[in-house]
């Protein structure tokens, strides 16, 4: 009888972990994956918003995890790719 009651004590713990996985962990992993794909697909001409709130146009995509963003005419800053929060306007690939 003690073996069954020990198992019954762990069932609520297992259920709580399963609920936490499906409500918190799994959606967060999906969001991270979507962000990585978005950042990987950045190209010249895309209008982006950084996590700091700066809006600009991608002027150059570098290989070393950086991009150059033009904030205003003649004002270009280097930005780490992972700090791009969203892409506002996507450009079409050149034919």
Q: What is the pTM of this model?
A: 0.71
Q: What local confidence, expressed as pLDDT, does residue 8 receive?
A: 85
Rounded to an integer, what distance in angstroms lies between the CA atom of residue 34 and that of residue 18? 23
Rounded to an integer, what distance in angstroms lies between the CA atom of residue 18 and that of residue 23? 9
pLDDT digits (tens, 9 = 90+) for 51-70: 999 999 999 998 888 999 99
Q: Which residues contact 39 (CB under 8 A, 6 or more apart)?
A: 81, 82, 84
pLDDT digits (tens, 9 = 90+) for 15-47: 999 999 989 999 999 999 999 999 998 999 999
- Cβ neighbours around 82 below 10 Å, total: 10
Rounded to an integer, what distance in angstroms lies between the CA atom of residue 78 and that of residue 81? 9
């Amino acid at each position: 009888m003690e073996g069954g009651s020990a198992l019954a004590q762990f069932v609520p713990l297992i259920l709580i972990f399963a609920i936490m996985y499906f409500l918190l962990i799994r959606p967060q992993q999906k969001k991270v994956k979507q962000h990585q794909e978005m950042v990987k697909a950045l190209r010249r001409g895309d209008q982006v918003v950084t996590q700091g709130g700066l809006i600009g146009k991608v002027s150059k995509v570098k290989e070393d995890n950086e991009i150059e963003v033009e904030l205003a005419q003649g004002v270009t800053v280097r930005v780490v790719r992972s700090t791009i929060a969203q892409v506002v306007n996507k450009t079409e690939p050149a034919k």
